[in-house]
Amino acid sequence: MCYLIAKDVDAVGCVALKTTHGKHLSEFKKKIMDKVGYDRIQLVTISRPSAYGEYEPYNFVETKEEFEEAVSAM
């Protein structure tokens, strides 16, 4: 288990999705970055949110669709 984090480098907080490692995650990250670009959105994979206070507050979403919508709206 891991968390995919999307962070707007100019804003406070992030969007987080609980997921698993694997090819599907890599492809999902690429799809999002192709859509939003690399200028101000940072995507990272972390093991546990409590260890990464720099991304707080966390806005947890339940589905890939919710995650993609939230990142597109950043």
pTM metric for this prediction = 0.91
pLDDT score of 47 more than 90: yes
User: How much is the pLDDT for 44?
Assistant: 95
Q: How far is CA 25 from CA 11, 22, 45, 53, 66, in A?
A: 24, 5, 9, 23, 15
Q: How confident is the model at residue 37 (pLDDT cuts 50, 70, 90)?
A: confident
Q: How confident is the model at residue 63 (pLDDT cuts 50, 70, 90)?
A: very high
Q: What is the mean pLDDT of residues 2-27?
A: 95
Q: Are 28 and 72 in contact (CB under 8 A)?
A: no
User: How much is the pLDDT for 38?
Assistant: 83
